[in-house]
Amino acid sequence: MKAVEVTNLTKNYGKNTAVNDVSFTIEKGDICGILGPNGSGKTTIIKSICNLIIPDKGVIKLFNKDNYKAIENISAVFEGTRNLYWRLTPRENLRYFAGIRGLGGRKIESRIDELLERFNLSEKRNATVNTLSRGMQQKIAIAMTLVSDTEIILLDEPTLGLDVQSYMDIKNILRNVASDMNKTILLSTHHMDLVQELCNQVVILNKGKLVSKDSVENLLNMFKSMTYEIVLLSSINEELKDYLLSLNYAFYFTDDDKKIEIDISDLNEIYSIIEKLKARNVMITEVKQKDVDFERVYLNLTGGEGK
């Protein structure tokens, strides 16, 4: 069953086109990542789905109903923790946002307790939000999307500005939400590994246009045969680096100054590169095929533009 259908979505701001004829669907229970460089239209699409922005063209349906008639199916977090009321406690925030939807009573109080426990926030239930860490605040913001038990969750940069431990906590929470609670999630993020580990499918945008829509597995397989790692005996100096860049191959230089990564379309190209390095007396200790990560896929599809 299709939970979200976006068809020919277009939105202009004056002479600038933020979203240009974008179409995609999300199946019920899937986690879909929406990616693109800054200004590619991610937030505009999410806000259009929520009916916070009215597109100039296109149709958005939620479970086969126009989105403005089915908005009760959606909960959303925008740009980190902006949804929160800082002088309220976690419990009060969850109670307030349930109340906005007309929900209350013992059932909601029980659900609030359940969510605070799931998010490891029980001990902080009565602390004001402004005294809590950024990671805890983000957990509360995500819990707020679940308190009303909507079918669809929209998350705009849910890991923005988090430290490593908080990021790992949020990632595990999102994985559990999708698997245990059968929610459909649309996730905008700059973390490629979050997409690679959590998402069933991905929508990639660039300059307002749709670049790709496919499963993460298919996109990774598309590039898998192209990526190889060459390990050298000695560190790469600037002269060698300039020489390699002059060869017009897709070289990538890693934090390890003895390793080079390269994307190729033909395995014979590896042998050619090895011969060129030998001719310059560069000793090679290992050549191996490397599992491509999603960041490489992303950069290939967006022409190398930053996230």
Residue 185 in any domain: the answer is yes
> Would you call 176 helix, strand, or coil by DSSP?
helix
Read off the pLDDT of residues 11-61 as tens digits, 9 standing for 90 and up: 999 999 999 999 999 999 899 999 888 889 999 999 999 999 999 999 999
Q: What is the pLDDT of residue 177?
A: 80
The residue-averaged pLDDT of 257-284 equals 87
Same domain, 60 and 166: yes
Position 250 scores a pLDDT of: 79
Q: In this structure, is residue 222 part of a structural domain?
A: no
- Rounded mean pLDDT, 222-251: 85
Residues 267 and 206 in one domain: no
More confident residue, 97 or 292: 97
Is 94 part of a structural domain of the chain?
yes
Any domain includes 10: yes
The rounded distance, in Å, linking the Cα atoms of 61 and 198 is 24
Mean pLDDT of all residues belonging to the chain: 88
If asked whether residues 103 and 177 sit together in one domain, one would say yes
- Residue 130 pLDDT level (bands cut at 50, 70, 90): very high
**Are 6 and 56 members of one domain?**
yes
Torsion angle (degrees, nearest 10) of CA 268, 274, 275, 281: 180
- Cα separation of 37 and 229, whole Å? 27
User: Looking at the structure, do residues 174 and 258 belong to the same domain, yes or no?
Assistant: no
Query: The CATH number of the domain where 32 resides is what?
Result: 3.40.50.300
The answer to whether position 296 is within a domain reads no
Q: Is 122 part of any domain? A: yes
pTM of the model: 0.76
Determine the average pLDDT of the residues in 191-211. 89
Query: What's the mean pLDDT in 75-100?
Result: 86
Confidence at 305, pLDDT banded by 50, 70, 90:
low
Residue 301 lies in a domain: no
3-state SS string for 251-269:
EEECCCCCEEEEECCCCHH
Checking if the pLDDT of 79 tops 80, the result is no
208, 232: one domain: no
Q: Give pLDDT, residue 304.
A: 65
Residue range(s) defining the domain that contains residue 37: 2-216
Which residue is it, tokens 């993460």? Answer: 216
Task: Report the alpha-carbon distance of residue 45 to residue 180 in Å, rounded.
Answer: 27
Residue 221 lies in a domain: no
Number of domains in the chain: 2
186, 287: one domain:
no
Are 70 and 27 within one domain? Answer: yes
Together in a domain, 202 and 236: no
- Cβ atoms of 137 and 144 within 8 Å: the answer is no
Could you tell me if 135 and 54 lie in one domain?
yes
95 plus 127 within the same structural domain: yes
CATH number at residue 248: 3.30.70
| Domain match, 127 and 201 both | yes
Q: Identify which of 207, 210, 222 has the alpha carbon closest to the alpha carbon of residue 24.
A: 210
